Amino acid sequence: MFDAILIEKTQAGQTVRLTSMDTAQLPAGDVLVEVAWSTLNYKDALAMTGASPVVRSFPMVPGVDLSGTVLESDNPAFNPGDRVVLNGWGVGEKHWGGLAGRARLDGDWLVPLPEGITLRQAMAIGTAGYTAMLCVMALEKHGVTPESGEVVVTGAAGGVGSVAVALLAKLGYDVAAVTGRLDESDYLTSLGARTIVDRAELSQPGRPLAKERWAGGIDVAGGVVLANVLAATRYRGTVAACGLAGGMDLPTTVAPFILRGVTLAGVDSVMCPKPDRIAAWQRLAKDLDFDKLDAMTTELPLADVIARTPDFLQGKVRGRVIVPINPALR
């Protein structure tokens, strides 16, 4: 038996509770994983609160991330004892996820954990950090280098933003961190941000083209914030967009694209092909400052996860929140 969070739906509505489960209850899959650590993400909060129709089938164990060791495998790529990490693939939405002591999964979804990263660190990185790395790689692919100029990161005090700031700073970029919580300025500076930008400066509709400022950007907000970032992006700059915390709309014009040659690069971490995932995790092992990662990470017991979820929707969470499941696993 093991503990798990379970989301159920009845005629009266959605419920979420901490319960005990047996391995036999797990859905189909060719690899059984003993979960060491999971995380609490914005999408998990949406799923558990029912604020958005994230969950596609019920009952559902939430948790879009997990790290652990293989217990059983019918997949030739994995053997018992292998350390693995999982991000996305609809886990926690369509297939039972990581907020449980065990998970049975499709082995093609799993990535071997690179040497140099512990199971705990893998979840301190999580989907947020893996997405941040994909965004950095997108900027590099489009020619944005540290010599290109300032790079802006929106939602900088959140999970994706915090890791993005730390990654960019270690790689030598001049980082401008956008936040609606100016009391987090010291935190963002400690991660490597050189400039702090009040989100209010980007939260109101602006001109189709603003003064050129940023060589590139990583945006988690969407909406008006992204429109204003694009308007102030330099000639042939690139903005990697990976989130919608500020809204799904994009009230912009074609001006940044046809007059300045700006590129808007969409970054999806959920269905990202496995070779790109492996490349991102290998880069994280090399390019992330793990002391800074530790500084942005807090632990939350599984029993306290449900009560904490509203904080994510209210923008009250700093950095990364990880959940110990079987923390003795290394």
- Residue 43 is part of which domain span? 2-113+300-324
75 and 202 share a domain? no
Same domain assignment for residues 306 and 227: no
Let me know whether 318 and 192 are in one domain: no
pLDDT in tens, the chain (330 residues): 999 999 999 888 899 999 999 999 999 999 999 999 999 988 899 999 988 888 989 999 999 999 999 999 999 999 999 999 999 999 999 999 999 999 999 999 999 999 999 999 999 999 999 999 999 999 999 999 999 999 999 999 999 999 999 999 999 999 999 999 999 999 999 999 999 999 999 999 999 999 999 999 999 999 999 999 999 999 999 999 999 988 899 999 999 999 999 999 999 999 999 999 999 999 999 999 999 999 999 999 999 999 999 998 888 888 899 999 998 886
286 located within any domain: no
In CATH, what number is assigned to the domain containing residue 144? 3.40.50.720
Q: At what angle do helices 119-141 and 274-287 cross, to 10 degrees?
A: 110
pLDDT at 102: 97
Q: Are strands 263-266 and 233-241 parallel, antiparallel or unpaired?
A: parallel
How many structural domains are present in the chain?
Answer: 2
Inter-CA distances, 217 with 212, 230, 264, Å: 13, 9, 9
Q: Are residues 178 and 256 in the same domain?
A: yes
Whole-number pLDDT of residue 93: 94
d(CA 91, CA 86): 9
Count CB atoms within 10 A of the CB of residue 84. 24
The enclosing H or E element of 188 equals helix 185-191
User: What pLDDT, on the 0 to 100 scale, is given for residue 25?
Assistant: 95
Of 221, 248, 266, the domain-final residue: 266
Same domain, 14 and 53: yes
Residues 6+ apart with CB under 8 A from 288: 125, 129, 133, 163, 166, 167, 170
Q: What is the pLDDT of residue 54?
A: 87
pLDDT of residue 215: 98
* Dihedral of the alpha carbons of 174, 180, 184, 185, in degrees to the nearest 10: 40
Which CATH number covers residue 317? 3.90.180.10
Q: Beta strands 214-219 and 111-112: pairing type?
A: unpaired
- Coil, helix or strand at residue 293: helix
Q: Is 279 contained in some domain?
A: no
| Whether residue 140 is found in the same domain as residue 175 | yes
- Map residue 275 onto helix, strand or coil: helix
